[in-house]
Amino acid sequence: MYSPTSRAALLLALTFPLPAYAADNVGDTETVVVTATRTPTDTSKIGSSISVITSGDMLKQQTVFVTDVLQTVPGVFVTQNGARGNTSSVQLRGEPGYDTFVLVDGMEVSDPTATQTTFDFSQQLANGIDRIEILRGSQSVLYGGDAVGGVVNILTKRGTGDFDGLGFAEGGSFGTYNIGTRAVGGLDGDRFGYNVGVQYLATDGISSADSNLPGNKERDAYNNISSSGRFDYAITDDVSVKAVYRYTGGLDNFDAQGGPNSDQLGFGDYFQQYAGRVSSEFHLFDDHFTGEVGASFNHDGRTNFNKVTGISEYFFTGERNAFDFKGVYNFDDDNLVVFGAETKRDTSHTSGQPGTQAVRTNGYYAMFQTTPAKPLTLTLGVRLDDNQRFGDFTSWRGTLAYNIEETGTKLKASYATGFRAPGLFELFGVCCGGLSFGNPNLKPETSNSWDVGFEQKLVSDTLQFGATYFQIDTNDLIQFITNAQFVSSYENVPGVTASRGVETYLAWTPIDNLNFNLAYTFNEANSATGARLFQRPRDVLNVTADYTFFDDRADLNLNVRYVADSISKGFDPVTFASFTRNLGAYAVVDFGASYKIFDQTEIYGRAENLFDQHYETDYGYGTQGQSFYFGVRQHV
């Protein structure tokens, strides 16, 4: 661990002498994104911080789980409670995982039965994803109350052109094998497009309880079968329909958090998640107006069992039905308005709850974007949420983007308010032998957030850099609290919980086919009393280097992730005592290589945690040591 003085020196070194680019992008340069305004928008007009991960980036890094590539982005920290398949959370700007709003092809995929309504990233495989947009900062105006930290938008590509089939198979350490296939193409002159695939992954795993502690040697196996598809049909030049689906199911094993012999407190889950959406897009008034109507459904189911006895102990079933309308009216190239309405009903049914708990939320939003003078773009948006249990709440957001073309400089800023209603488990949760953790007297959280930063291009755009200061203040934060009598429940914490910091990035292409990307985030996240929040490291640095050679047939990829100054809450399952631990600094190095032996055939291999670094993202849980994987990809 290094001193505040050395941390400040590092921050200054990253922030000032290496200016660079105008979109916080990771990997390939993108100029148009959809998440920031809900309509395709050039990044020069966006006053928010947004990063784009492309399918090419994931291919070069040989990404299996989406979390592996998300942690290369500034402002992002990923935690996982043990082995593959165990609960995984993506935090944006120091906000908890339930403040990250997740979309997969337009579907909200958070689990209504989760302890705090969130999406479990541990089951999200990367096969078939075309791009991921990560929008940081409060986005409640366009996406509702669960978007205080930001939005992760996972998108697949419309199928076009001739049939393109892909198959892959890989195997490696811990008895792991991973196979999959995908078919993409278009028919009838691309009037109909299809993109569908399936993937199966299985591993003997590692011990979810930290194997460096005595008695934790049992491996926790995991398997996952996933399928996703997208189908598009153009009825006319102005009317089209789209249908998408996502399915994942399997088995994961996990251990209780604790110290030695936690393997003895082991459980498993049979999980099943599926979601679908149908929508129609139409154009009117000489393409000045674009409308979309859609309906979606999301199901999450988990059946828990005791690994020692094999007896099923409890189940969770959650569902969401949603309907939405969005309209975009372009007055001209410099002025547009986005408006819409949404309604969703979340339900939760568990073995510990009598009957079904449900809540409906309606949302209405509008956003105006204007470029009054060529260098300056402004947006102003407002939203009304009508929650069945908590009534109405109004939030708003404004952004500014100012581009100086002569110097390749972009200045940006945003301010927003937010609102998050308690989830169903926070209100009514019962678990683990009939223990009641819910609190129907909870109040919603409210928040204020702002950021300001710059982005810069230099050396014919081969050197690109940016830095952003951010701050998010949350009132009445909802936390899980255990009192002196060992009674646990969700409670509102009085006062303001603050997360603030600086995120920076650097992208450099010194020669053709050689790329360096750096992302560094400094984050201070404290409760209303000034105490550090758990699992919010102050320093996260990620460096990626990629080199393509031999006429683009060969590729080398190196990734180094450094994390420092994080604390975690520990729990002793024998004495029921809790304690605080500093997790210590660590650096993890991953290396991959690939080679096209034929035009349609590629072999590849990678080393994860090359130097066998022992580390923790949460106290008492294990992380994967040195491992090696080899595979082949075949196009048809």
Ordered DSSP codes for 287-303: TTEEEEEEEEEEEEEEE
Q: State pLDDT tens for residues 458-494.
A: 988 899 999 999 999 999 999 988 776 667 889 999 9
- Could you tell me the two tokens for 60? 């070069």
- Measured distance CA(80)–CA(82) in Å, rounded: 6
What local confidence, expressed as pLDDT, does residue 21 receive? 31
Under a CB-based contact definition with an 8 Å cutoff, are residues 175 and 204 in contact? yes
- In degrees and rounded to multiples of 5, residue 67 shows phi and psi of -60, -30
Mean pLDDT of the 184-208 span: 95
Mean pLDDT of the 333-350 span: 95
Lowest mean pLDDT among 65-69, 137-141, 218-222, 227-231: 218-222
Above 60 in pLDDT, residue 163? yes
Tell which residue, 134, 93, 151, has the closest CA to residue 499: 93
- In degrees and rounded to multiples of 5, residue 630 shows phi and psi of -135, 140
Burial of residue 572 (CB within 10 Å: 0-12, 13-18, 19+) is middle
Residue 191 Cα distances to 196, 233, 242, 293, 498, angstroms: 17, 6, 12, 20, 50
pTM: 0.93
Q: Are strands 430-431 and 435-436 parallel, antiparallel or unpaired?
A: antiparallel
Mean pLDDT of the 138-161 span: 95
Mean pLDDT of the 385-393 span: 94
What local confidence, expressed as pLDDT, does residue 472 receive? 97
Residue 288 Cα distances to 8, 36, 81, 336, angstroms: 49, 20, 48, 9
How much of the chain, in percent, has pLDDT values that exceed 90? 75
Above 60 in pLDDT, residue 12? no
Lowest mean pLDDT among 308-317, 382-391, 561-570: 308-317
What local confidence, expressed as pLDDT, does residue 433 receive? 63
3-state helix vs strand vs coil in the chain, percent to 5: 5, 60, 35
Burial of residue 329 (CB within 10 Å: 0-12, 13-18, 19+) is middle
- pLDDT-based confidence at residue 573 (cuts at 50, 70, 90): low
Above 60 in pLDDT, residue 77? yes
Mean pLDDT of the 148-171 span: 96
What local confidence, expressed as pLDDT, does residue 22 receive? 35
What local confidence, expressed as pLDDT, does residue 28 receive? 40
Number of CB atoms found within 10 A of residue 161's CB? 10
b/e 536-555 (16+ beta carbons within 10 angstroms → b):
bbbbbbbbbbbbbeeeeeeb
Residue 220 Cα distances to 104, 118, 520, angstroms: 28, 23, 33
What local confidence, expressed as pLDDT, does residue 218 receive? 83
Mean pLDDT of the 341-349 span: 95
Lowest mean pLDDT among 12-26, 184-198, 322-336, 399-413: 12-26
Using DSSP, state whether 440 is helix, strand or coil.
Answer: coil
What local confidence, expressed as pLDDT, does residue 80 receive? 87
What local confidence, expressed as pLDDT, does residue 254 receive? 82
Q: Which residues contact 259 (CB under 8 A, 6 or more apart)?
A: 213, 570, 572, 620
- pLDDT-based confidence at residue 350 (cuts at 50, 70, 90): confident
- Could you tell me the two tokens for 326? 């969005």
Q: Are strands 100-104 and 150-155 parallel, antiparallel or unpaired?
A: parallel
- The DSSP output letter for 16 is S
Instruction: Provide the strand spans (E) within 81-216.
Output: 88-92, 100-104, 107-108, 131-136, 150-155, 164-172, 176-187, 192-203
Sign of CA dihedral 251, 256, 262, 264: negative
- Measured distance CA(295)–CA(279) in Å, rounded: 6
The residue to which tokens 């010194």 are assigned: 510
- Measured distance CA(441)–CA(250) in Å, rounded: 36
- pLDDT-based confidence at residue 576 (cuts at 50, 70, 90): low
Under a CB-based contact definition with an 8 Å cutoff, are residues 617 and 583 in contact? yes
- Could you tell me the two tokens for 507? 């992208």
DSSP for 81-116, written as a single string: -SSTTS-EEEEETT--GGGEEEEETTEE--BTTSSS
Mean pLDDT, rounded, of the chain? 90
- Measured distance CA(497)–CA(476) in Å, rounded: 8
Mean pLDDT of the 29-39 span: 86
